[in-house]
Amino acid sequence: MLGGMTPEQRTAAELLLEWLAPADALDGGQDAVIGFGHFDLRIAARCAELWAAGQVARVIFTGGVGAGTADLGQPEADAFLAHVGRLHPGLPRERIVVENRSTNTGENIRFTLELLAREPAGRELRRVVLVANPSRQRRVMQTWRRLAPEIVAQAAPPATTLEEERRLFAAHGQDLLAQLAGEVERLRTYPERGWIEPIAVPDTVRRAAELCRVAVSDR
């Protein structure tokens, strides 16, 4: 056993994390970066880094009080704003948009676009970078493609490792293996509900997700 996982389970978890966290080679000149609410404050830091590197014109944080983030003590977007204020005090507040009412990924996108539509610059949004927790990044991308296909989106999750993700989720009382397997299941079933764009799930990913599900149920 390695860190509570067998070698087979570790291999499966690493495969799932890699597949669930697509990362594009950013080409710069993006209208905005959107950080999707979560207890993972690295999302906020990643957004600020992209702004500091000149990749994006402004930063958008979206997220209210969602499942699993009540311990932040405030809406996710507000927690992101406060975190970035500590890490990157040079990021002008007028360059940051905060949407703090949404409670799921669909609302993150809809409420953000509704908020931006009230501004001239928002109505001109054409190219964005999306930043989510690595295990959630692919589902965020597929949700965006369902709800805002006219706006080109690139993925830029925070860099991470399996062990880093395990520690992060464990600190919030959550099991990473269950999270990874659950994300694959959501990507399989959410298209039927009209929530995300369909995506082909490779057989290797399905098998890895099943192995992780069994590992969780056996605990």
Task: Say what the pLDDT of residue 1 is.
Answer: 38
Same domain? For 33 and 85 the reply is: yes
Same domain? For 34 and 139 the reply is: yes
Same domain? For 178 and 122 the reply is: no
Query: Residue 31's domain is classified under what CATH number?
Result: 3.40.50.620
- C-alpha dihedral over 186, 188, 192, 196, to 10 degrees? 60
Same domain? For 82 and 168 the reply is: no
Structurally, the chain folds into a number of domains equal to: 2
What is the span of the domain harbouring residue 182?
7-19+161-191+198-217
How many CA within 13 A on the CB side of residue 186? 19
In a domain, 2, yes or no: no
Low-confidence ranges of the chain (pLDDT < 50): 1-2
Task: Say what the pLDDT of residue 35 is.
Answer: 98
